[in-house]
Amino acid sequence: MPGYDQTLQPFLWRAERLYPGREVVARTADGIERYTYREFGDACRRLANALDAAGIGEGDRVGTFCWNHHRHAETYFAAPNVGGQLHTINPLLPPEHVQYIVRNAADRVLFVDPSLLGALEAAYDEEAFASVERFVVVGDAVPETALEPVTDYDSFVGAHDAEYDWPELDEELPAGMCYTSGTTGKPKGVEYTQQMLWAHTMATLTPAGLGIDDSDVVMPVVPMFHVNAWGLPFSATAAGAKHVYPGPSPDPADLVSLVEEEGVTLSAGVPTVWLGILEFLEEHDADLSSLERIVVGGSAAPESLIRRYDELGVEVVHAWGMTEMSPIGTVAHLKEGLEGVPHEERYAKQAKQGLLVPGLEMRVVDDDGEEVPWNGEDFGELWVRGPWVTDRYFERPDATQQDFEGSWLKTGDIVTVDPEGYVQIVDRAGDVIKSGGEWISSVEVENAIMAHDAVAEATVIGVPHEKWGERPAAFVVPADDGVDRESLADELTSLIAEDYPDWWTPDAVELIAEIPKTATGKFDKKVVREEHADPELLAED
């Protein structure tokens, strides 16, 4: 745009001037810390001066290895606004992934939480970390560590001034970076330009997005290393909302007490977080009256979860997105005219991944590249494009060629779209099971099994089969160890046989102790396949 670029800078500027006394709150190892937007702005400018002094400017990456807290939020505004690039690193990844990511991103400064120092040391490799000029431990002292050179955050920032003239930035400048968690192979880097982050922030503020405004108290439970905590630190600041950060891997009791004490109105996280809170509520009293809505995404929100929160007076805002999309793509709001429908019908709509957020475009294509009709039945791969969707991976022409076509991102999600435009994910492209040429949605079978009271978790994969190509096998973690294993397996088999086409019934239902998970808490079907996809499992025809 001639004369004006879309960047993150005005969001912080406005929040400080319009809401100087609004709070940013974080739970840390030392208890609750709180300060105002005015102080937050000062802290960001001090950090900007410190980054300047460390030589960070355009094109330089600043890595973070941190949980959700206010210091991490300071890096969100300081690093991109000096022209650098905020690169959030998932500390739960295996060491070799961390090495790959740091080497690939060539981070120059790396911020690390004291509680994550051990994980970083475990991943440290002189050659992979050759670009890192300085480690900054987020705290007021440096614990015993082999990493060097190392400074504590307070000393790194302390002597610097709270005055800082932000430089004029081009909106095409990369401002952020996040690697996809690698459920589908080697991590792939996604760069977010200033303009992408600006556009995503604005979209989240709209009612068709997340409708965040200055009355909100926003608590991101989704980690800040996972697609910028779904953009919430940016959105909350742009809106002038209060921020609440739950700190290192919070448990349900911590989250509930923050809701009660800080008056959280909106929170966000993966389904397992919300299931954990429901379990906690069975044993404890809590006052969740301030909590208006929870954004649930990352994997599908089960209908039972939507119902149970509705009964507690909390709206589940089911959203779908991807690292490549900054991340929000669809949100399952109720369309005008659907508000009055019976509860069950409403929950069924909310359990879909939802309606495309304004500003994006989508198409659903079959194997021949033809668009499939929006009839709620025909499957195809979802393609999307728009102002906050990337069109490439960082230094990965091979993966870029595979996953993009021009400006379209081929999401790898297999979906149906109903006549009202609600997108429903039926599977990931590699997970959908093809048996005798017919598709089986592993996700639907999993959900049906997980709806059974005696089941804690379940996953379904395709196992190679001589005659049919693939047949479904279910791996189930029972809710209670004492269960009669054989009768549960039989019961689950008949349950699917009753409700689904006959070829959908799993040929094997195996009870296991645990389902392997990815670093972001999703079922890791790659590992399930490696460990269990044994043709001998399947019953004889």
Dist. CA 245–CA 477, nearest whole Å: 32
Q: Residues interacting with ligand ADP, by CB under 6 A?
A: 180-184, 297-300, 318-323, 353, 411-413, 425, 428, 520, 522
Judged by CB, which is closer to ligand ADP: 26, or 319?
319
Q: Least distance from C-beta 113 to ligand ADP, angstroms?
A: 21
- Residue 112 vs residues 45, 70, 73, 152, 365: alpha-carbon distances, Å: 20, 13, 13, 10, 43
CA angle 306, 426, 192 (to 5 degrees): 85
Judged by CB, which is closer to ligand ADP: 156, or 388?
388
DSSP state of 202: H
Beta bridge partners of 109: 62, 134
Dist. CA 80–CA 317, nearest whole Å: 29
Judged by CB, which is closer to ligand ADP: 12, or 409?
409
Judged by CB, which is closer to ligand ADP: 246, or 321?
321
Q: Residue 222's closest CA among 211, 233, 214?
A: 233
Listing DSSP states for 47-69 in one string gives HHHHHHHTT--TT-EEEEE--BS
Is 180 an annotated catalytic residue?
yes
Beta bridge partners of 151: 136
Dist. CA 262–CA 291, nearest whole Å: 10
Is 148 an annotated catalytic residue?
no
Dist. CA 199–CA 238, nearest whole Å: 12
Judged by CB, which is closer to ligand ADP: 226, or 242?
226
Q: Which one-letter amino acid corresponds to residue 137?
A: V
Contacts 24+ apart (CB under 8 A), 375-378: 375/416, 375/418, 375/419, 376/416, 376/417, 376/418, 376/419, 376/424, 377/416, 378/416
- Structure-derived torsion over alpha carbons of residues 380, 385, 386, 390, reported in degrees to the nearest 10: 130
Is 96 an annotated catalytic residue?
no
Sort strands 315-321 and 85-88 into parallel, antiparallel or unpaired. Answer: unpaired
Q: Least distance from C-beta 410 to ligand ADP, angstroms?
A: 11
Judged by CB, which is closer to ligand ADP: 446, or 470?
446
Please list the alpha-helical segments (H only) found in 312-371.
343-350
| 191, 303, 324, 446: the active-site residue | 324
| 96, 279, 434, 438: the active-site residue | 434
Q: Least distance from C-beta 156 to ligand ADP, angstroms?
A: 31
Dist. CA 286–CA 289, nearest whole Å: 9
Please list the alpha-helical segments (H only) found in 64-193.
70-81, 95-105, 117-123, 153-158
| 13, 374, 408, 439: the active-site residue | 439
Judged by CB, which is closer to ligand ADP: 320, or 379?
320
Is 439 an annotated catalytic residue?
yes
Handedness of CA 300, 304, 310, 312 (dihedral sign): negative
| 64, 88, 180, 411: the active-site residue | 180
Judged by CB, which is closer to ligand ADP: 458, or 489?
458
Which residues, including other chains, have CB under 8 Å from residue 199's CB and lie 6 or more apart?
A: 6, 359, 386, 387, 388
Q: Least distance from C-beta 479 to ligand ADP, angstroms?
A: 22
Q: Least distance from C-beta 424 to ligand ADP, angstroms?
A: 9
CB atoms near residue 349 (< 10 Å): 21
Catalytic residues: 180, 324, 434, 439
